Amino acid sequence: MKASRKTTFVFQLSREEFLNIFFDDLALPNLVKTQLARLVENKSVRAGFTSEGVPANINVVRSLRGALGRRLALGGPYREEIRQLQDEIEELRKTLADDDPQIKTRWERIERLRSKIDNIPWIDSFDLRYNNRVRIPVPSTSAVMFCVMDVSGSMDEEKKQIGKRFFMLLYLFLKRTYEHIELVFIRHHTVAQEVDENEFFHSRESGGTVVSSALELMRDIIKERYANGMWNIYGAQASDGDNWENDSPLCRQILAEHIMPFVQYFAYIEITTGEAQNLWREYIGVKESCKNFAMQRIEGIADIYPVFRELFKKKLA
């Protein structure tokens, strides 16, 4: 039987490489429009790879890829000759015995070629690649993201899980992409409360729904901690939109008059499989009057990532 000529290559992505792809072309909209845009600091950034450097900066993955390519290139002619000799042996076996000199000569040649392949160094100094870093001046920005999540009784467990997964995605994106950013976590049912990261994602508290309590808390925190003009302020709100009818107009008023003038961007996500709820209908007015307001609907888990990319994709200048 002839030897198989099919070769399979498998490359493994690191967590960092995967996240680079996962969050490619995403950014906080309208960043660096505050006073901090005028402050400049030097930042060390990746600038490709170089063939010279110190051992601490060796990029193992890139070096091994180079070594693999070199070994394939140098060993390619030997492997091709081995395949030809194996084909010749198969043909000779049809008329000659295995100990025939013609067959034995070819096997000896194959062994010498395999020895040459084995003697190709696994890695050579020529293969080494080092991470190259340069220092460039960049604007020094500080930003705060308000994460507002509805945990009322109308938000069943499936909806809450969707909301948590959306905010986990946002949290991961912000923490790995921006050096100077704070996160404020607000949960609400009939009352709102600022909580820490652990309680925000893991608490099982539930109750009625008064969405305005969360927006009022966000408004107050902005006034108390971020109203000096030195912050890029962002907000993301997740709810099923089921709110007291007389509270939704108040939500629209608070958002339009007391939050939107002070934020760079605010995203509202409504988690529902049915018709738009009263909160969505009120927020349409905010969207029409505020260019820095966006709203999207999520029906199921499969919608989370597409909606996230739509809300935070980089805008062309």
Backbone angles phi, psi at 142, to 5 degrees: -120, 135
> Same domain, yes or no, for 254 and 155?
yes
| Co-location of 210 and 162 in the same domain | yes
Residues 6+ apart with CB under 8 A from 297: 269, 270, 271, 272, 276, 280, 303, 307
pLDDT tens figures, 62-73: 888 887 888 888
Taking CA atoms, 271 is separated from 31, 166, 193, in Å, by: 27, 11, 21
Same domain? 115 vs 216: no
Using CA atoms, how far apart are residues 304 and 166, in angstroms rounded to an integer? 6
Q: What's the rounded Cα separation, in Å, for the pair 248 and 279? A: 5
Asked if residue 42 lies in contact with residue 135, where contact means CB atoms within 8 angstroms, the answer is yes
Last residue of a domain, one of 92, 127, 162: 127
Work out the pLDDT band at 38, boundaries 50, 70, 90.
very low
The CATH number of whichever domain residue 307 belongs to comes to: 3.40.50.410
- Is residue 72 domain-shared with residue 190, that is, in the same domain? no
pLDDT surpassing 80 at residue 25: no
Position 17 in a domain: no
Q: What is the DSSP string of 208-252?
A: ---THHHHHHHHHHHHHHS-SS--EEEEEEEE-----TTTHHHHH
d(CA 129, CA 53): 8
Among 70, 103, 127, identify where a domain stops: 127
Determine the pLDDT at residue 29: 66
- Regarding whether 263 and 217 lie in a shared domain, the answer is yes
Q: Domain ends where: 95, 127, 159?
A: 127
Range of the domain at 90: 56-127
Residues 296, 185 share a domain: yes
Residue 135 lies in a domain: no
> For 244-259, how does the pLDDT look when each residue is reduced to its tens digit (9 = 90+)?
888 999 999 999 999 9
For residue 10, tell me if it sits in a domain. no
Q: How confident is the model at residue 56 (pLDDT cuts 50, 70, 90)?
A: confident
Q: Does residue 57 or residue 291 have the better pLDDT?
A: 291
Domain identity same for 148 and 90: no
Q: What is the pLDDT of residue 23?
A: 58
The pLDDT, as a whole number, for residue 140 is: 53
Number of domains in the chain: 2
pLDDT of residue 222: 94
> Band of the pLDDT at 37, cuts 50, 70, 90?
very low
Please report whether residue 189 resides in a domain.
Answer: yes
Question: Is the residue at 2 inside a domain?
Answer: no
Q: Is residue 188 assigned to a domain?
A: yes
Q: What pLDDT score was predicted for residue 124? A: 78
| Residues 92, 216 within the same domain | no
**Whether residue 294 sits in one domain with residue 146:** yes
Do 213 and 94 belong to one domain? no
Whether residue 14 lies inside any domain: the answer is no
3-state helix, strand, coil in the chain (%, to 5): 45, 20, 30
State the pLDDT at residue 290.
92
What is the model's pLDDT at position 33?
A: 46
DSSP letter, residue 261? G
| Residue 180 forms part of a structural domain | yes
Residue 179 DSSP code: S
Question: Are 188 and 151 a contacting pair, CB within 8 Å?
Answer: yes
If asked whether residues 165 and 68 sit together in one domain, one would say: no
- The more confidently predicted of residues 179 and 99 is 99
Q: Which of the residue ranges 56-60, 170-174, 203-207 would you say has the lowest mean pLDDT?
A: 203-207
d(CA 36, CA 33): 8
- Rounded to an integer, what distance in angstroms lies between the CA atom of residue 188 and that of residue 205? 9
**Averaged pLDDT of the chain:** 81
Residue 136: other Cβ atoms inside 10 A:
10
Q: Give the predicted TM-score (pTM) of the model.
A: 0.59
Q: Are residues 202 and 62 in the same domain?
A: no
Locate the DSSP E strands across the chain. Answer: 40-50, 130-139, 143-150, 181-188, 192-195, 232-239, 265-271, 293-298
User: Of 202 and 25, which is predicted with more confidence?
Assistant: 202
Strand partners, 44: 135
